[in-house]
Structure 1
Amino acid sequence: MPSRLLRPARAGRRATQPRSTGALGVRLPLAAAAVVAAGLTAACGPSSQPVGAASPSAAGQSAQTLPAGTRSASPSASASAEASPTASPSPSASPATVSASAKAPSRAQTTPPAPKPARTSAAPAPARVPGPGYDSSADAQKLIDAALGAAKADGRMVLLDFGANWCGNCKAADKVFAQPQTSAILGASYHLVKIDIGGDSSANSALLRKYSPSGGSYKMPVLIVVSPSGTVRTDTHATGNPALTSEGLGSFLRQWAS
């Protein structure tokens, strides 16, 4: 009797043991998952970033591991690369380049302007004084025109000397003109034109009557002072000749020089 009772009990245990073992098998995976989740939460702490955001450490690590010259497609990686102090600056924005260009002075600042040439108020070179005698073959009108043109340029007067190579007074006047003192006055204040009226030149005789229209017999030399504009200032045929000496001709020339 007792043995029979024990057998069903053992059989019942055997029948119920698989049921309890199955329930325990379901509970054990759930408990293990809960323990693992609790461990992860305790180790890492609650996350303050939204779902899908990359962690800073991961972004920095990915930026550091990128090879040189490779662009990162991640905005956060490019931003961290720009903010990194080791990033090389652009050559145009280099402080050394900017400071060097700022310190380098321009050529216009360092090169002084060329000095202007000083204005000189020196008197013009002395005019040429013809030698003694009269050239009967010369074109007297051209000589007068050239002298008037030069007088307009430098402000000197024109001295017309009508004479002849055989005239004694004309030779005396030539000797005085050749003296240094008289020659200096002539060169500084006059353009001297010597015109031969001792020959058969009708053109030269016409020039004498043009500048000394009073006519009659002329006492040579006839000295006529003409301004640069061509106006006759004095005519010795009308006023009489000065003394044919250094003092006489010198005084005459200084009187009509200006």
Structure 2
Amino acid sequence: MKGFFQVKFSYFLAGAFVLGLSTASLAQAADHVPPPHLDPATQITPAKDVYPDVSLASKQVQEAFVTAAASHRKVLLDFGGNWCPDCRMLAGVFNQPEVAQWLESQFVIVPVNVGRINQNLDLAQRYGVTIHEVPTVLIITAGGKLLNADGTHTLGNARAMSAQAVLDLLDQWNQRG
């Protein structure tokens, strides 16, 4: 029986190759974990004091890439400030238990304090992103490839987005790499 399944799997891979699918894309599709579906009635409470002292950012980002490489996850850099209502709302979405669990399985998250949009801006510049509003979110592979260059500022109006829309957007970006 074992030989039968090996032959069937070989035909499956050959068919996937003919269709233009690589084994890497097949593995990625098999590993994809969709975000949780939140009840639209879920009340999101803005979080407080999410962003640590500005002096910690460089070291935390560096450590995040080491962890991401070891754990086969991506890095999510969340640039913002504790004074920012949209940043606090985004953090409130991230704090939902089922969301936090999904995020942890997919990303190494680093909240980067940008002060009053005058600190740690160089960390985003490394990826060609200029921060002019917060939150600014970068999804980066462990190898350093920015996956959401077209949407780094999209969550700048997080208060106007549903929690599910935020998750769906993060999921779309996550599937790019």
Q: TM-score range by the shorter chain?
A: 0.5 to 0.7
Corresponding residue pairs, total:
125
Which amino acid is 1:233 matched to?
L
Query: What 5-or-longer segments of structure 2 have no aligned partner?
Result: 1-30, 32-47
Change in Cα spacing, 1:190 to 1:207, as seen in structure 2 (3 Å) is same
Distance 1:198 1:229 in 2: 27
Whole-angstrom CA distance in 2 between matches of 1:182 and 1:157: 16
Q: Which has the larger radius of gyration?
A: 1
- Quick check: 1:250 aligned with 2:167? yes
Structure 1 stretches (4+) deviating beyond 6 angstroms? Answer: none
Secondary structure in 2 matching 1:252: helix
Give deviations 1:180-220, integer Å, cap 9, x for gaps.
22112111100000111124864x1211222343x3x6221
Residue of structure 2 in register with 1:44 after alignment: none
Q: Which residue of 1 aligns with 2:81?
A: 164
- The TM-score, its normalising length taken from structure 1, stands at 0.44
- Retained in 1: the 8 A contact 2:81–2:115? yes
For residues 42-80 of structure 1, the C-alpha deviation after alignment (integer angstroms, 9 at most, x for no partner) is xxxxxxxxxxxxxxxxxxxxxxxxxxxxxxxxxxxxxxx
Q: Which amino acid aligns with 1:209?
A: Q
Q: Percent same amino acid among aligned pairs?
A: 26
Q: 1:218 aligns with which of 132, 136, 147?
A: 132
Q: Is the 8 A contact 1:161 1:223 kept in 2?
A: yes
Q: Which has the higher contact order (CA 8 A, sep 6+)?
A: 2
Task: Find the partner of 2:96 among 179, 182, 190.
Answer: 179
Tell me which residue corresponds to 1:153.
Answer: 70
| CA RMSD between the two structures | 2.5
| Match of residue 135, structure 1, among 40, 43, 52 | 52
Match of 1:7 in 2: none
The 8 Å contact of residues 157 and 191 in structure 1, kept in 2 or not, is answered as yes
What is the CA deviation profile of residues 65-106 of structure 1, one whole-angstrom value per residue up to 9, with x for unaligned ones? xxxxxxxxxxxxxxxxxxxxxxxxxxxxxxxxxxxxxxxxxx
Q: TM (normalized to structure 2)?
A: 0.62
For structure 1, the residue ranges without an aligned partner over 5 or more in a row are: 1-122, 124-130
